[in-house]
Amino acid sequence: MKDKKPRVAIQGIRASFHEEAAFIHFGEDIQTIECSSFKQTFEALQNKEADYVVMAIENSIAGSILPNYSLMMSYNFPVVGEVYLPIQLHLLALPGVKFEDVKYVTSHPIAIRQCIDFFDEYPHLKVVESSDTAACAKRIREEELTDTVAIANTLAAKLYGLDIMERRIESNKKNFTRFLILTHHENVEKKDIDKASLCFQVSNQVGALAKVLQIFAEQSINMSKIQSMPVLGKRNEYNFYVDIEWDNTKQYDAAIRQVLKYTHNFNILGEYQRHEDEYVQNEREQKFRAQEKITRKYINVKKIVK
């Protein structure tokens, strides 16, 4: 395994955002396994046709991709990592094509919705939805389309030999997608872990979930996400998908032991190292400085009162 390229299954084709996320986590020396659906990526992993799956789980604008939570529970492959990818969308065209000759814009529906301001500015452009951003770029190259442009990333422009006609046409410049990395159980390496993805149920009683959240707070465990989904076929029963982060492993262990008393069908979907790029690090530093400022102000107020 260590002597060969990791085989990474993605939903979509090469140069998609999924492959870009895979490059961030593994580096570019990988074998990309193209799959037509998220379920097919899990099938590839289960059949040992892939060593890892890179799967989008949430977007800062579109929200959580709920069916993918169900896939994680159904296949029970552990999460071993995450990637936060800034989504930058560009207008790609064949070299030499002029904007005034363009009649159609094609891309994934979510990418199209994320460029609503651009389409408001050019209402004459006809939108053609497709299943994958990179596939749209590939089609323009293969069919030599001179009246059509694609919305995709720079990776697609480079791979399929297209020009970037217009950069950063997305409406929200702080748009991120979070991807999870999943693998076989034998590939799991529990080192430097400071984040976990959990799934559990609580009783349908007043304060049942609050007890669990209180335990996390008492142990200084940060809950970075909570997502509920109905349990299929069961009224008023929900699976809670929770992501937690910690700085002290002993506090994490203590929290899990206590949480087990108040939950059922408890699953640790994965323990891994949180992804911190420059954006996340800057965000943490800003929060730390803000908290430090509040603390200093509180201390000064106490001195004045005294």
pLDDT at 125: 97
Q: What is the per-residue burial (b if ≥16 Cβ within 10 Å, else e) of 167-187?
A: eebbeeeebbbbbbbbbbeee
- On the question of pLDDT at 199 being above 70, the answer is yes
- Average pLDDT in the chain: 91
pLDDT at 65 over 50: yes
Has residue 155 got a pLDDT over 70? yes
Residue 107 one-letter amino acid:
S
| pLDDT higher at 41 or 276 | 41
pLDDT at 286 over 70: no
Query: From CA 157, how far away is CA 151, in angstroms rounded?
Result: 10
The residue that leads in pLDDT, 191 or 166, is 166
pLDDT at 58: 96
Structure tokens at 34: 């193209």
Is the CB of residue 145 less than 8 Å from the CB of residue 109? no
Q: Give the residue-averaged pLDDT of 288-305.
A: 54
- Residue-wise pLDDT for 244-256, tens only, equals 999 999 999 999 9
pLDDT of residue 236: 86
Residue length of the chain: 306
Query: In Å, what is the CA distance from 31 to each residue of 27, 40, 135, 150?
Result: 11, 16, 18, 25
Residue 198 has pLDDT above 70, yes or no: yes
pLDDT band at 298 (very low <50, low <70, confident <90, very high): very low
Supply the pLDDT for residue 246: 97
The predicted structure's pLDDT at residue 276 = 84
**pLDDT at 123 > cutoff 80:** yes
Q: Give pTM, 2 decimals.
A: 0.87
Instruction: Indicate the pLDDT class of residue 232, thresholds 50, 70 and 90.
Output: confident
